[in-house]
Structures are given as structure tokens and as C-alpha cells.
């Protein structure tokens, strides 16, 4: 019994060191623990009760945590115990915007206008950016920490989906916010897809694959069609982000088939959960999708026999498969454009073989766009044309910086950049959400200033 207790204690210690290792850089310890709280604990606090005016308790916690962390950082900065960094143009730009936000909050408070929720939230994002700015390592660990937190939320969502009963973390409060749920699921799916694509360890591979499958399922049930399309595009661009080796293509094909298989099972899961989409898919649609997957599977299996077996699969670059992915990506873009621009004519088409799927998809896509108000639209409504111009200008500055970072040719840096670009793109479809945007801001800051790790060079052989 004593031996078992010792083994159990050692196991707990090992688990603790894996999930919460000691900070390796004492000069960034505040930022380090702030990020750990924001990526692990903050997502699991889902209560949305309004406790002061228009503010929810989650927003208040985010504000207090960010404010205390930045104040403590300033105190230690004066004692030279935290990292100092060289100011760049984007830093000055964001400081000026933060000053403008503070001035607007002050003016509204003087006028006794308590509608300052959006300004406070934006100010918190600026604080998060400057707190995370000093971190220069451990990016993959932080992403994995977010995935562990997501695993608990996925478990609660699936339990709620299957039983309809309240879960431990109160995920039903999160599911009552469709926009917030969609943006958070996009983030979680994006991270799990990219980490699964480049992970080497078998145990983490299984974990990321499971997280991707659970994310797809929940995305179809509780997300919307825009979110599903964004995740599908993320899957398709993976062979263009990393070297299209045999192992990477194999993993990506697993994700593609899993995505469409779960999509075909929507009617079954809807019957189990009782969650019905605005335009429900029926069993015939699922059968058509499964038939398509079977034909595609036969074609791929036939091609796979031509791959040399006596060469390390990590050094074979499958250029032909990458070209096929490019064609699928182009077709996806055309279908999306046609469905959005010609949704009314599509709705009038006769429901022949496969047309019903196109009609439902087009209607769901248009409904998703109309139901959500984007952050860009919010800026135009609140701050006029000047607000929209500022955001477009800031987006261009960020993309310019990310483009320079991409040249570092580091897989972890690329993962951070892709997530950041997804965040920028979705601001034109969704509002900034307290559920997911703080995590996006953390990842974006990582991407802007990430250092390249020392990766081994790989010899490339074309297929």
C-alpha cells in the first residue's frame, strides 16, 4: 500500500510538472502565470451573470486579472526584475489606441453614460498584448495547455448533448451564446488540427486527433456554417503550411474523412441531442456524403500503393497531392462564393440528386452571415468610418509583421501565425467575444514576436 501511494504521488508530481512546469524565466514569471490562468482556468469559468450594469462576471474577472497583472509588472519593472523590450511601431500604435480608449471611457463616465462595456473589453485586450509581449519561449506548451482546458469543456458539452442535464462547468451558459461558442470552437479546432499535423509523440497524436473529432462534432451541433467552413479551409491549407510529407498527408486525409463522416452523421446526433438546425439535414444527405467518401477512399487507396515503401515517409514530399488540395481549395472557394451570391436562385432549384444538400448548405451559410454582427460592422456603427479605417490599417500592420515572421520557417511559429490570421479573418464575420478573444490575443502576440527554434533540417524527395 505504501509502495502504491509512492507511485501515485510520483505520478501526480509528474502530471503536475507536465501541465504546470515551473517557470524557466524568472523575469517573465508574472506574464507566464497570467497566460496559464487565461488559457487553462479562464475558459472553464462560463458563468455569464450580469453583476454590474452591462458587465458579466466573466468580463469583470478578466478585467481585474489583467489590471492586477499589469500593475504588478510595472512595479517589478521599476525594480528591473522583469523583461524589457524594444518598442516597435505596432506597440506605439496600440498605446495610442489604448489612450484613446481611456479618454473615451473617461468622457462617458463624466456624462454618466455607463455603456462602456466594449471600451473596457478592448482596453483589456491591449493590456493582454503588453503582458504577453515579454514571453519568448514555451509556445507549444501554452497551446497544449489550452487544449487540456478544452478537453474538460468538450466533455461537458458532449454530456449535455447526450443527456440534456447540467454539466460540471455549466457549458449550457456558453451554448446560449452562439457567436461566442462558434469563435471558441474555431480556435480549439484550429489548434488541435495544426498540433496533430506536426506532433511526433503517439500519446499526444491520439489526444489531438480525439480533440479534433470532438471539435468537429460540436461545431456541427452548436456552431454555425461559417465556422464549419473556416475549419474546413484550415484542414485544406495544412499541406501548404508545412511540407506535404507522406505522414502529414496521411494525417490530413484522416481529418478530412473524419470531418465529412461526422457531417454525414448530423441527423443522428440531432435526434440524440434534440438540437435542430434551422435547415436540418436528413439521412439521405448523409448517405450521399458517405457514398462520396467511399469513392474518394478507393481512389486514394489506389494511389497510395504507388508510394515507395523503402524510403523514410518523412522525406517524401507529395507534390501531386498538394496540387489536388489546391484544386479542392479552389472548388471550395467557388462553391462558397456561388452559395453566398446566388442563394435565392439556388433555393428555387428542383430537389434532384445532390441539389438538396446544396440548397441546405447555401441557406445555412447565408443564415450564419446574416445572424452574426462582425467586429468590423460594430466599429462602423460605434465609431463611424474612422473606426473601420483604424481596424483595416491595424490589420495590414499585423499581417506585414506576420509575413516577416513566416520567413523564420519554424513549424511552431507557423502554427501561431495561422491561428492569428484566422482570428483576423473572423473579425469580419463575428464580434469580439470575452469567451475566446483573450486567447486569440495571446496567440496573436506570440506570433508577432515568436523566436525560431532550432529544428533539424530535412532532406526532401519528390513523389
- Mean pLDDT within 167-190: 84
**Predicted TM-score (pTM) of this structure:** 0.87
The per-residue pLDDT of the chain, averaged, comes to 80
Report the range out of 38-52, 117-131, 155-169, 303-317 with the highest average pLDDT: 117-131
Q: What are the pLDDT digits (tens) for 180-211?
A: 888 999 999 999 999 999 888 888 999 999 99
HSE toward the beta carbon, residue 305, CA cutoff 13 A: 5
pLDDT band at 1 (very low <50, low <70, confident <90, very high): very low
pLDDT at residue 428 greater than cutoff 80: yes
pLDDT band at 354 (very low <50, low <70, confident <90, very high): low
pLDDT band at 4 (very low <50, low <70, confident <90, very high): low
Q: Structural domain boundaries of the chain?
A: 137-369
| Contact between residue 413 and residue 450 where contact means Cβ atoms under 8 Å apart | yes
pLDDT at residue 457 greater than cutoff 70: no
Burial degree of 222 (CB within 10 A; 0-12, 13-18, 19+): buried
pLDDT band at 80 (very low <50, low <70, confident <90, very high): low
How far, CA to CA in Å, does 446 sit from each of 131, 159, 271? 11, 33, 42
Radius of gyration of the chain (CA): 23
- Mean pLDDT within 162-168: 71
- Mean pLDDT within 449-457: 58
The pairing of strands 461-462 and 316-317 is parallel
Percent of the chain with pLDDT over 70: 80
Residue, of 330 and 221, whose pLDDT is higher: 330
The pLDDT value recorded for residue 305 is: 83
- Mean pLDDT within 299-313: 82
The pLDDT value recorded for residue 302 is: 85
- Mean pLDDT within 110-137: 83
pLDDT band at 460 (very low <50, low <70, confident <90, very high): very low
Amino acid at each position: 500500500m505504501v509502495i502504491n501511494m509512492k507511485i501515485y504521488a510520483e505520478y501526480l508530481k509528474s502530471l503536475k510538472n507536465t501541465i504546470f512546469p515551473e517557470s524557466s524565466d524568472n523575469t517573465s514569471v508574472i506574464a507566464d502565470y497570467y497566460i496559464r490562468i487565461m488559457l487553462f482556468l479562464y475558459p472553464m469559468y462560463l458563468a455569464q451573470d450580469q453583476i454590474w450594469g452591462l458587465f458579466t462576471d466573466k468580463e469583470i474577472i478578466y478585467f481585474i486579472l489583467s489590471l492586477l497583472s499589469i500593475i504588478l509588472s510595472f512595479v517589478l519593472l521599476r525594480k528591473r526584475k522583469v523583461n524589457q523590450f524594444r518598442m516597435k511601431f505596432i506597440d506605439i500604435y496600440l498605446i495610442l489606441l489604448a489612450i484613446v480608449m481611456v479618454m473615451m471611457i473617461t468622457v462617458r463616465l463624466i456624462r454618466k453614460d455607463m455603456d462602456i462595456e466594449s471600451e473596457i473589453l478592448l482596453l483589456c485586450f491591449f493590456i493582454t498584448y503588453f503582458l504577453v509581449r515579454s514571453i519568448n519561449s514555451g509556445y507549444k506548451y501554452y497551446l497544449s495547455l489550452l487544449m487540456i482546458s478544452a478537453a474538460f469543456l468538450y466533455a461537458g458539452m458532449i454530456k449535455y448533448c447526450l443527456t440534456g442535464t447540467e454539466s460540471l462547468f455549466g457549458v449550457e451558459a456558453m451554448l446560449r451564446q452562439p457567436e461566442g461558442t462558434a469563435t471558441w470552437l474555431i480556435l480549439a479546432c484550429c489548434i488541435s488540427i495544426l498540433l496533430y499535423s506536426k506532433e511526433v509523440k503517439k500519446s499526444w497524436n491520439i489526444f489531438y486527433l480525439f480533440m479534433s473529432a470532438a471539435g468537429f462534432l460540436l461545431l456541427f451541433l452548436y456552431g454555425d456554417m461559417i465556422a464549419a467552413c473556416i475549419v474546413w479551409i484550415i484542414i485544406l491549407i495544412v499541406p501548404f503550411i508545412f511540407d506535404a510529407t507522406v505522414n502529414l498527408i496521411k494525417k490530413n486525409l484522416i481529418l478530412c474523412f473524419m470531418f465529412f463522416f461526422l457531417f454525414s452523421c448530423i441527423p443522428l446526433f440531432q435526434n440524440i441531442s434534440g438540437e435542430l438546425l434551422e435547415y436540418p439535414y436528413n439521412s439521405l444527405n448523409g448517405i450521399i456524403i458517405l457514398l462520396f467518401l467511399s469513392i474518394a477512399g478507393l481512389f486514394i487507396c489506389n494511389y497510395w500503393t504507388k508510394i515507395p515503401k523503402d524510403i523514410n515517409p518523412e522525406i517524401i514530399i507529395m507534390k501531386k497531392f498538394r496540387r489536388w488540395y489546391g484544386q479542392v481549395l479552389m472548388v471550395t472557394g467557388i462553391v462558397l462564393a456561388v452559395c453566398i451570391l446566388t442563394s435565392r436562385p439556388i433555393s428555387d432549384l428542383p430537389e434532384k440528386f445532390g441539389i438538396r444538400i446544396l440548397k441546405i448548405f447555401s441557406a445555412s451559410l447565408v443564415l450564419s452571415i446574416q445572424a452574426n454582427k462582425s467586429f468590423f460592422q460594430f466599429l462602423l456603427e460605434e465609431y463611424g468610418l474612422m473606426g473601420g479605417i483604424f481596424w483595416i490599417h491595424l490589420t495590414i500592420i499585423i499581417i506585414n509583421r506576420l509575413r516577416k515572421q513566416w520567413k523564420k520557417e519554424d513549424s511552431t511559429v507557423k502554427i501561431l501565425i495561422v491561428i492569428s490570421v484566422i482570428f483576423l479573418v473572423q473579425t469580419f464575420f463575428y464580434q469580439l467575444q470575452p469567451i475566446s478573444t483573450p486567447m486569440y490575443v495571446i496567440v496573436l502576440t506570440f506570433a508577432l514576436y515568436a523566436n525560431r527554434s532550432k529544428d533539424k533540417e530535412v532532406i526532401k524527395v519528390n513523389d
